[in-house]
Chain A
Amino acid sequence: MVREAEQNNETISRRRFLIRMAKAGVAVAAAGGLGALLYDPLGPGARKNIAAVSLPDFSIPNLAPKMAIVSGSDRKATAQKALEALGGIGTFIKQGDRVLIKVNAAFATPPILSATTHPDLVGEVITLCLKAGAAEVRVTDNPINDAASCFQLTEIGRAVEKSGGRLYMPKESYFAPASVNGGELIRDWPLLYEPFKGVNKLIGLTPLKDHHRSGASMTLKNWYGLLGGRRNIFHQDIHNIIKELGMMARPTFVILDGTMAMMTNGPTGGAISDLMAANLMIASTDPVAADAFGATVLERKTASLPFIRKAAEAGCGTADYETLKPERLSI
């Protein structure tokens, strides 16, 4: 009798527990569901959320890194020869490819100052790409300050037009927030993304220059011109930002133009005497190697340019360019 009552009690207690469990479960589900329903990550009046973009890898798969160094003063000839040494433009550009060329048009300065990519080089590379069958060759850069006069006075705009390329002058609507995988600085940062839409090859064309803040401005630093926003805050951490630029943009190949290398007072220069006729054209599939070689032309030690080591450690390439067995040719 007593045992039966106890058992009875236990059953009741068990039932009440199960009911409580069920109620708790409903309450948890309601709390979670309401939370998900009411969740508002942006707050009132915020700008529209644009999903962060990132750039794909534009390098040619399964191609061993290559580099070529051609001496000569005629940019068209040296660039052509350097690309031949890499296996010919056909190795990189196939029929129907859409190509984006990132030039350096950061300043509204004339070509003789070599603070910007030389128009001859831009024109030649566009012509080569089109000959190789590219469906479209786009050229872009974000000089922040008055892009129109930058493209005009550097004469890059005219070179693009003459050789059949298409110039993407930066506009506010061209930017989209981008993040770099594993990056710490480039997070939801405005990136000049519109020209990348539909593109499957990326080429960097860069003048070889001294740079007051980072020591040297070469192929890795060139991607800086893809950033928008208040990017000058990155000058506070210049070497890491260059490293992250290397992580962000994996080009098909780059050309570092050392025909007239800016040895002092970079990145703007201003005097012809800031330049040295190094007469070198460097083409490379590995931007880090190109920069490491460029440093020697500028008479810098690699150690004084921490971004080279950082970029190499981040897997953007190798600082020991000799391992690429660069072909050295001359015209």
Chain B
Amino acid sequence: MKITTARRISQIFFVVLFFWFCVVATMGTEFWRLRGWSVNWFLNLDPLAAIGAALATRTLYRGMVWAVATIVLTIIFGRFFCGWVCPFGAMHQFFGWLGAFGRKISQRIERNKYRKAQSIKYFLLVLFLIMAAFPLWESVSLQTGLLDPIPFVYRSVNLVLIPILDSHTRAVFYSSRQYDGAWFLGTLFLAALFLNIWIPRFYCRFICPLGALLGVLGRFSIWRIGKTKEKSRDCKLCEKSCEGACQPSGKIRISECVLCFNCLHICPDNLIAWQTQESSAGEIINPDIGRRGFILSAVSGLLAVPIIRLAGTLGTNWHHKVIRPPGALAEVEFLKRCLKCGQCMRICPTNVIVPSGIEGGLENLWTPVLNFRSGTSGCQLNCTACGFICPTAAIRPITLSEKLGLGEFSEKGPIRMGTAFVDRSRCLPWSMNTPCIVCQENCPMTPKAIYLEEQYSTVRDGVYEAASADGAAIRVNKAQWKPEQYAAGDYFCEAGGRRARIISNSADTLILEEPLQISAGDRVVIKIHLYAPMVDIARCIGCGICEHECPVSGLRAIRVSAENESRNRNRSLFLKN
């Protein structure tokens, strides 16, 4: 068997495994639902995520310790991960292979030649790691996830590809999914894939900071591709399908080689081998960035976080719509951990967690926020799925007792994500004399965090002069009502300081439930009986079910914003706590 066959099997295996993880990450009891699946495994194996988070937090959380295995194997073998394991890499390779059709051998060789721009990924790597490692008066920020291929492919497939493919089958999700800014994720995903038609493994060669990291880690690799003789006929056939564009025909660039082994058998003189010796034609070990380049990107990294944070998004200018899932760490700590992988958005059973845009600061891009307008409901009271799936504990795993403030957590109270605010200018009972208690009915807290204030409010043009009264029937002057206009049971007639329910009306006569003492000329007022919702900030946890259900469906009349969230004390609305 050729080693390239084994490589293809391996790539297919990991792509299938990856898609399987994407499919099964739905809560449920069937075998294809999330049971014990280690759906985060590729994220766990990702050394860029692990090193980034380890630099930022000085810890390696749970499964992230898997990355040590990747690192060790990379030190021994080089960038095997890129060529053999990475599902995104395999997709790039597939599209690159499609792009090779109809091209002459010389053109193919041209496509796979080393390009100076391949050093861009090292600049990006240095930039991101410095941002994660050295605070320079600001706290660190983990932004590797923006371009790290593993989170990239997770969020692209989970939040864009599967929702589209599943939109009519409903095999993966129980209901249709909505993700803010999916167009952007989708555009980047397609661009990354389609650029391979032009240059194979475009993303891997030019952009991928993980590839760059692995290239650096593999500098001492024990076995490596190389030539067994310095001189050859220079036919460059070995570069025809070279995935890494690492120029095996000349001085091979070890940090670019992804171990695709396509050069091994193609050499007409059999001059290429996988061996412990260095290539007879010489090697280039160091990435092509030079000291100047390194310093420039390091300085950029040092300054990037303070520059981004000049917007004040971690201070008083924090954005009220950055409502994080339950169990999310305080914002500063959260930004040290979040990979933007989208797993929490994938697993959320109600689809209330969506990727953020940049409104809460550039660092916020693609981090999880709650959008109560999307999905099937608000954050479910009895659900803690996001914290369990989060690979980095940016949303830490919480028990139900902790979420609901029961048992040993009863002193702390439930975890609050924000607070609901009634917009009295839009609320039907508050501003439009229309009965509605939907938000109160749907509040899941016990006792409810939304309570009702009973009101009797005068209807439009509702003041009349009594013409005559006959028991419970009252005729008024100058009225032209529609028959039964006030018969809904919510309307009352007020006169002489007393009030009675209207049970029927004609054009100018009201029929009351019980008679009122009225004589001709008395002032008669028609009132509507309303319950106006009020929020008890001591009880509201910001689950957003009220906002989701509010019948004022455009700009909701009750909206949650992140004030009073438990995770950032300085956003509290209480004096204590």
- Are A and B co-members of a single complex? yes
Q: A: which residues have CB within 8 A of B? A: 13, 16-17, 20-21, 23-24, 27-28, 31-32, 34-35, 38-47, 172, 230
Nearest CB in chain A to that of B50: its residue: A35
How far apart are B27's CB and chain A's nearest CB, in angstroms?
14
Quick one: given A24-B75, A38-B59, are A17 and B393 in contact (CB under 8 Å)? Answer: no
| B54 pairs with A38, CB closer than 8 A | yes
| A28 pairs with B75, CB closer than 8 A | yes
Partner of B72, one of A16, A20, A32, A39: A32
| A31 pairs with B62, CB closer than 8 A | no
Cα separation A35 to B75 with both chains bound (whole Å): 15
B400 at the binding interface (Cβ < 8 Å) = yes
Cα separation A171 to B56 with both chains bound (whole Å): 40
Quick one: given A27-B217, A34-B54, are A43 and B393 in contact (CB under 8 Å)? Answer: yes
| A27 pairs with B68, CB closer than 8 A | no
Cβ–Cβ < 8 Å partners of B71 in chain A:
31, 35
| B68 pairs with A43, CB closer than 8 A | no
Q: Residue-by-residue, is B95-109 near A (CB-CB < 8 Å gives 1, otherwise 0)?
A: 000000000000000
How far apart are B66's CB and chain A's nearest CB, in angstroms?
9
Q: Is the interface of A mostly helix, strand, loop or mixed?
A: helix
Most chain A CB within a 10 A radius of its CB, from B61, B217, B278, B400: B61
| B396 pairs with A44, CB closer than 8 A | yes
| B276 pairs with A17, CB closer than 8 A | yes
A selection of 5 A-B contacts at a CB cut-off of 8 Å is A24-B76, A28-B76, A34-B54, A35-B68, A46-B396
| A35 pairs with B65, CB closer than 8 A | yes
Quick one: given A27-B220, A40-B61, A44-B333, are A32 and B397 in contact (CB under 8 Å)? Answer: no
Interface size class of B (residues with CB under 8 A): 20 to 34
How far apart are B39's CB and chain A's nearest CB, in angstroms?
17
Partner of B62, one of A23, A27, A40, A172: A40
Quick one: given A38-B59, A46-B397, are A21 and B75 in contact (CB under 8 Å)? Answer: no
Quick one: given A38-B54, A38-B59, A172-B408, are A13 and B222 in contact (CB under 8 Å)? Answer: no
Cα separation A32 to B72 with both chains bound (whole Å): 8
Cβ–Cβ < 8 Å partners of A34 in chain B:
54, 68
Nearest CB in chain A to that of B392: its residue: A43
Cα separation A181 to B342 with both chains bound (whole Å): 36
Cα separation A24 to B333 with both chains bound (whole Å): 34
Cα separation A32 to B62 with both chains bound (whole Å): 15
Q: Residue-by-residue, is B57-71 near A (CB-CB < 8 Å gives 1, otherwise 0)?
A: 011111001011001
How far apart are A133's CB and chain B's nearest CB, in angstroms?
39
Cα separation A47 to B220 with both chains bound (whole Å): 41
Quick one: given A38-B60, A172-B408, are A31 and B75 in contact (CB under 8 Å)? Answer: yes
Cβ–Cβ < 8 Å partners of A44 in chain B:
329, 333, 393, 396
| A17 pairs with B333, CB closer than 8 A | no
Nearest CB in chain A to that of B276: its residue: A17
Partner of A16, one of B76, B278, B333, B397: B278
Most chain A CB within a 10 A radius of its CB, from B68, B76, B399, B408: B68
Cα separation A45 to B217 with both chains bound (whole Å): 33
Besides A13-B278, A20-B220, A43-B61, 10 more A-B contacts (Cβ < 8 Å) are A17-B277, A24-B76, A27-B75, A27-B217, A31-B68, A34-B68, A38-B59, A41-B62, A44-B333, A45-B396
